[in-house]
Structure 1
Amino acid sequence: MSDISQATIESAGLRYPFERRVPGPAEIIEVAPGISWVRMPLPFQLDHINLWLIEGDEGWTVVDTGVSTDEVKALWRQVFQSGLKGKPVTGLVVTHLHPDHVGLAGWFTRKWGVELQMSRTDFLMCKTLVLDTGREAPKEALDFYRAAGFSQRGIDSYAARFGGFGKNVSRMPDIFRRLREGDELTIGGRVWRVVIGSGHAPEHVCLYCEEAKVLISGDQVLPRISSNVSVHPTEAYENPLEDWIESCKRLRRNLPDDLLVLPAHNEPFYGLHTRLTQLIDGHEEGLEKLLNMLDEPKRAIDVFSALFKRKIGAEVFFMATGESLAHLNCLLGRGLATVARDDKGVNWYRRA
């Protein structure tokens, strides 16, 4: 999750019905009949995540979990004791693979005896990334960041932090129930349809309830920031930004505009189509600025100023590099740029 390029994507024209009412620790706020909002802390630069509770006849379905820390577990225990009207947790949906969303999924399944429901790609990728815990960084990953223009100090920093994905993820369950585009979940007598996005995560689950006029959007649509769309060493040649843009267009085409959008970060809002258009246009503008920089050869770390208004410091350098590579790979995929690797293993991009 990022707040680097996202600040450059304006968010005017949205309406926030709960702007002055944000949940405190372990507090629950009902945002629509039978749909409640919990906010948990994150140990990152982005310091919170929104989690959603859908009330059913027999119990509650939890959408996303927060990271696996003692603090978040303690806050959840307070919610269980005082906020669920004496009902158990009977369902668990995770929107995608990132630790702030899936971190306590295994803990929930074992505590409540529920199945984890998420997309297949994100479940399997999460399991794979957790297995990196304790491993040394592979040579291919070091070469990836060398190609992006990292100094040896930067490569050493990456090697030192490699394998950290699993530290905020509790032991994942061995089985899950797969969610696909168009699947329907009936909770509390209402139907929630699965809508899949891509780009920020490979197969990101959103939940749409036509009757309630609500979209639980996870990180696929955020109001004040935009989700990080990055290229990583595991899929160095992929084009997630094109996937992201196409997902935004598909959501705008297939979903009505009058939904209350429940995002994973910031506040619930109205203005879905406006925000999707802003996200699409913002990235297209970034691509145009980037292309104009490539009249002279550039490395991935040379193009931050085309995409980010803020100064890129050490705390977001890896994330910014991943986003720059996503934009560069998009230009390559559109045939607008070329790349050549020099004898030091560094990639240089220029306009085609």
Structure 2
Amino acid sequence: MTNIQFPYPEPPAFGKLLDIAPGIMWMRLPLPFRLDHVNIYLIEDGDGWCVLDAGIWDQRTIDLWEAVLAGPLAGSRLTRLIVTHHHPDHIGLAGWLCRRAEIPLLTSQTAYLACANLSLAPGSPQDRQFHDFYINHGTTREVADQMGTHGLDYLRMVSPLPNTFLRLLSRDMITIGARRFRILTGDGHAPEQVMLYCDEDQLFFPADQVIAKISPNVSVWPNEPDGDPLGHFVRTARRIRDNLPDDVLVLPGHQLPFTGLHARCSELVEHHDRRCDLIGEAVRAGPMTVNDLVPVVFPRELDLHQFGFAFSETLAHVNRMLRRGELTRTAGPDGIVRYAASGRRKAEDDI
């Protein structure tokens, strides 16, 4: 990370605002997870402030927003809310904030519909499909039962969405105050994740697509069990690296703002290549399930919440390797799916 610099080495305290560029304020809100925060940005918008992401739906976050609205933003108004993607730490409080401030929601169609489907349809994680997804990839029935009932509790930390929204599409231009932003979208971490780029001021808001010191989660979920989100993620990282300047100020959804975009995009691609190599080395000893491979990729101890992400990200690497021809897949008489080394790798044009 020698080419990556952190111009703002100290983040603001939860619920406090920090000026980081003319007309740009940075706020952090807490999360009840190992990754304990999400970054919120306020962009000056005429006589008010456009908000980028909302935080998760819990009482602590609501209380912090109320304090901000009654404190540093007292006398100001919010103009609109842009939500980057459907994960609850970003969209969770969107409905509440839009109603509280009487502002419109702007997001991608995928984010809006995915949130409505996954987070606001609370019965879906208990469907048989979700249970069998874990069983078929080698977990015990106990773990599968836990994943179906409590492993995805965070998905429900979302307030009811507004009934309407304004769709943001890749290549759209949006004016926020005196600035013009190009809408970009990325995939892999979340489908059609919205990113903002201001060429004139060299500002890039990538949400969770590019983060300085952690790799964004890239997961396969039960509703798309054969999907290739890792391929989508790598393509997006390369497209960002090849099409945006290296000296932009990167304002991500987590951790610190940084410069050195190209180096970080390359590091993320290399990181996932190394994880694929670990899987390839492990299966040379014999066929393995995704459950067998989780500790190969994530050797630390995991709680149930962390296991769900680790399991789904391990499967993302397996699916990528299947696409590249590095693995073969077989299902035994017990219905359990196992993966073995194929001894070959397909050539690819772009990944």
TM-score bin, normalised by smaller chain? over 0.9
For 1:54-203, list aligned pairs within 5 A.
54-84=43-73, 86-134=75-123, 137-161=126-150, 164-203=153-192
CA displacement at 1:305 relative to structure 2: 4.3
The one-letter code sitting in structure 1 at the alignment partner of 2:248 is L
Please say which of residues 154-163 and 180-189 is displaced more in the overlay. Answer: 154-163
Aligned to 2:290: 300
Please say which of residues 242-251 and 141-150 is displaced more in the overlay. Answer: 141-150
CA displacement at 1:189 relative to structure 2: 1.3
Aligned to 1:15: 5
Where 1:233 maps in the other structure, the secondary structure is coil
For residues 172 and 296 of structure 2, what CA distance do their matches in structure 1 show?
39
For residues 340 and 16 of structure 1, what CA distance do their matches in structure 2 show?
47
Tell whether the 8 Å contact from 2:118 to 2:124 is kept in structure 1 after alignment. no
For residues 213 and 224 of structure 2, what CA distance do their matches in structure 1 show?
28
1:253 partnered with 2:239: no
The one-letter code sitting in structure 2 at the alignment partner of 1:204 is Q
Runs of 5+ unmatched residues, structure 2: 343-351
Superimposed CA distance per residue, residues 102-139 of structure 1 (whole angstroms, 9 cap, x where no aligned partner):
01111122122221111111110110012431457111
The number of residues matched between the two structures is 341
CA displacement at 1:298 relative to structure 2: 0.7
CA displacement at 1:178 relative to structure 2: 0.7
Tell me the TM-score normalized by structure 2: 0.93
Aligned to 1:351: 341
Runs of 5+ unmatched residues, structure 1: 1-10
Tell whether the 8 Å contact from 1:136 to 1:162 is kept in structure 2 after alignment. no
For residues 304 and 166 of structure 1, what CA distance do their matches in structure 2 show?
22
1:34 partnered with 2:23: yes
Superimposed CA distance per residue, residues 54-100 of structure 1 (whole angstroms, 9 cap, x where no aligned partner):
01212100000001112111111221122236220001100100000
Please say which of residues 97-106 and 307-316 is displaced more in the overlay. Answer: 307-316
Tell whether the 8 Å contact from 2:182 to 2:197 is kept in structure 1 after alignment. yes
For residues 91 and 134 of structure 2, what CA distance do their matches in structure 1 show?
27
Aligned to 1:342: 332
Aligned to 1:6: none
Distance 1:97 1:315, change over 3 A: closer
Where 1:303 maps in the other structure, the secondary structure is helix
Tell whether the 8 Å contact from 2:151 to 2:305 is kept in structure 1 after alignment. no
Distance 1:282 1:162, change over 3 A: closer
Where 2:313 maps in the other structure, the secondary structure is helix
Where 2:340 maps in the other structure, the secondary structure is strand
Tell whether the 8 Å contact from 1:197 to 1:203 is kept in structure 2 after alignment. yes
Give the counterpart of 1:321 among 302, 306, 311. Answer: 311
CA displacement at 1:179 relative to structure 2: 0.7
Q: What is the percent sequence identity of the aligned residues?
A: 38
Aligned to 1:7: none
1:330 partnered with 2:320: yes
Tell whether the 8 Å contact from 2:39 to 2:252 is kept in structure 1 after alignment. yes
CA displacement at 1:312 relative to structure 2: 3.8
1:24 partnered with 2:13: yes
Give the counterpart of 2:275 among 271, 279, 286. Answer: 286
Tell whether the 8 Å contact from 1:53 to 1:62 is kept in structure 2 after alignment. yes
Where 1:301 maps in the other structure, the secondary structure is helix
For residues 160 and 124 of structure 1, what CA distance do their matches in structure 2 show?
22
Please say which of residues 129-138 and 107-116 is displaced more in the overlay. Answer: 129-138
CA displacement at 1:309 relative to structure 2: 4.8
